[in-house]
Chain A
C-alpha cells in the first residue's frame, strides 16, 4: 500500500476538550423550546394567534371607544350601507347638496362633505305615478320607483358619482338603524366571553373528573369511564338546547349549557395522561415523600399533561363559539338587543334579499375566528407531537 505522507505532528494525540465526547450529539433543545420553535415557524398558526389577540383586544376595548352603542336605534337611518355612490345637486343659489340613494328602501340620505350621514331627505310620494318628489331649494328631483332612476326637474337623468365610505357608520347600520360595527364589536365580546368561560368550565369539570378517575383507578375508574362512554354517545347539542329551554334564553344560560356538556374529551385526555404518568418514578417518589394526593395532582401530573390539554382547549373554543352562534341562530342564544355573532348572522339573514351585504360582516367575523382557532390548534398539535420530530 502506498501511503501518502503524513506530517509527524499529525500523529500527536488530538487536543481534547473535557467532555467533548458528550457534546457532539445534536444540540438538543428542551421539549418546550422545541415546541415553541416549531409553533413560531408555523405561519398559519402564528397568523391565527395574531388574529385572536387582535380580536380579543378589539372585543375588550372596541365597545369602549366606539361612538355608537350596540342598542341605540334610529329607524330613520336603518339599513344604511357601509359605502355608497354620491349624487350631487346644485340649486339656484349655488348651494350643493350631496346625497345617496339607498335602493333597498328607496330612501335618499343627505351626506356631509366629510362623508357623514346628515339625515334622511323626505320627499313627496306619489303612489299613483310610482314616483317620489324631492326638492333641493329650487331644484326638483324625481325618483322613478320602478326603474330606480333619479331625474332632475329639467329632465336630465342624474348619474351616480364617486364612491364614498360611510363615515358615520363604518360598517353601515342594521334594520333597526343600529351601528353594525358597534354591534359587531359587542357581538365579538359576547361570543368570545361565552366561548372562553364555557371552555374554562369544561376544562375544570374535565380535569376534575378525569383526574379523579385516573388517579383513583380500579373499579371507580371503570365506572366513571363507563359513564363518560354513555355521555359521549348522547347527542350533546340536543342537550344544550334542552338546557336552554329549561333556563330560558340569555347570556348565562348559554354559558351554563355549553359549559356543562363538552367536558368529556377533556376528562378522557386527563385520565389517559394521568394513567401513563402514574407509572413514572417521580410520582412514586413524591408519594413516598409524603406529598398529598391533591399536591401530586396539581404539582406533578397536570404540568405534564398540559400539551394535549392545550390542544383540546384550543379546539374547544371554536366549537363553543360555533355552538353559541348556532343556538342564537335558532333563537335560543342571547336575547335582543344583546348581540352575538349568531344573532347578528340570523338578523342579516332576515334582510338577505334587500341587503345581502349585511351578511358579510358577521359571516366574515365568525369564519375568520374559526379559521384562526383551527390554525392555531392544528399548529399547536403539530408542534406538540413528538412523532413528527426528526
Chain B
C-alpha cells in the first residue's frame, strides 16, 4: 500500500522533472529564445531576466537556476510585461479558469456517468439510442464549433445569456457547456460500454444466482467495477479541460489562464509560455496522483499487484 503510494509519488515527480526539462530546452531552442539577450527588449525586463538567470552563464547553470526558482514556486519574470512575474499572470487568471474548469469537471462526472448507466441499462431501447446519438455528436463535433454555435444561438440570437464574461451567473452556462460537452459524451460512452462489459462478467451471474435483488446487483456489484475505467480517464479529462480552456476562454473572452497562455504565445512571451506550461503540468500531475489514489480505493487488486 505505502509502496504503491510511494511509487506513484516518485513517478509523478520524475514526470514533472521531465516536463520542466523538456520545456526549458525546447524554449531554449527558439531562435531569439527566452534566455538570449535581445536588443529589442525593454531594458528593465532585460535587467530583470539577467538578474534572475544570468544570461552569460552556460545553459546548464541557467537550467539549474530555473529549477531552483521552480522549487520555491517562482516562475520568474515575464518576458514581455515589465514588472510582471509569471506567478502574477497565473494568479490573475486562476480564479476564472478554476471556476469554469471545476464546474465543467463536475458536469462531466455528474452527467456523463448517469447518462452512460441509463444507456447501458436500456440497451438498444430509445434512451440508449438517444444518449448514444447525442454522445456521438458530442464526441465528433469540436468544442470550438459547439462554443461558437452556442454563442451565436443563445447569446446573439436569443439573448438568453451574455456573450462574454462571467459577471452574470448566466455567463457560466455556455463556457462550461462548451468545455465539458466532449467529455460528458466521452464519459457517457465509456461508462456505458464499461457497464455493459461488467454486466457480462461471470460474477454478475453469481450475484444473480445468489438471489440478490436487481438494485443490489447493479449498485454493489456492477457500478463499482464499471467505474474503474471511468476513474482512470479522469486524469486525461483534466488535461483536456486545461487545453480546451484555451479556445473557450478566447471565444467567450474570459480572463483566465488559458487566454493569457494564448496571448503569451502570440506575444512570444517565452518565460510566460514556459511557466504556464509547467504550472499546467504540475496541476495535472497532482490530479493524476489523486486519481491513482481513488483507483486504489476502488480496486483492491492494485495494492496486491503493485506491492509485490
- Residues of A that sit less than 8 Å from B by CB: 229-230, 233-235, 237-239, 241-243, 245-246, 318, 322, 325-326, 329-332, 345-346, 348-349, 352-353, 356, 359, 363, 366-367, 370-371, 374
Query: Which chain B residues lie closer than 8 Å to A242 at the CB level?
Result: 23, 26-27, 273, 277
Name 14 extra pairs, CB < 8 A, besides A234-B18, A359-B152.
Answer: A230-B15, A233-B285, A233-B288, A235-B239, A238-B243, A241-B265, A243-B26, A246-B26, A318-B140, A331-B266, A352-B148, A356-B156, A363-B145, A374-B136
C-alpha gap A242/B23 in the complex (Å): 8
C-alpha gap A285/B61 in the complex (Å): 55
B267 shortest CB reach to chain A, Å: 11
B30 shortest CB reach to chain A, Å: 5
Q: A363-B149, A367-B140, A370-B140 are in contact. Are A353 and B15 (CB under 8 A)?
A: no
B142 proximal to A (CB < 8 A): yes
Contact B148 A331 (CB under 8 A): no
A362 (CB) vs chain B CBs: closest residue: B145
Give per-residue flags for B131-170: 1 if the beta carbon is below 8 A from chain A beta carbons, else 0.
0000010011110110011011000100000000000000
> Which of these, A239, A346, A363, A366, contacts B22 with CB under 8 Å?
A239
Judged by DSSP, the binding face of B is: helix
Query: Which chain A residues lie closer than 8 Å to B19 at the CB level?
Result: 234
Contact A345 B144 (CB under 8 A): yes
Query: Which chain B residues lie closer than 8 Å to A366 at the CB level?
Result: 142, 145
Contact A331 B262 (CB under 8 A): yes
Judged by DSSP, the binding face of A is: helix
A325 (CB) vs chain B CBs: closest residue: B142
The 9 A-B residue pairs whose C-beta atoms are closest, nearest first, are: A370-B140, A237-B243, A235-B239, A363-B145, A371-B140, A367-B141, A230-B15, A233-B15, A242-B26
Contact B142 A349 (CB under 8 A): no
B280 proximal to A (CB < 8 A): yes
C-alpha gap A246/B268 in the complex (Å): 10
Query: Which chain A residues lie closer than 8 Å to B142 at the CB level?
Result: 322, 325-326, 366-367, 370
Query: Which chain A residues lie closer than 8 Å to B280 at the CB level?
Result: 235, 238
B100 proximal to A (CB < 8 A): no
A244 (CB) vs chain B CBs: closest residue: B265
B261 shortest CB reach to chain A, Å: 8
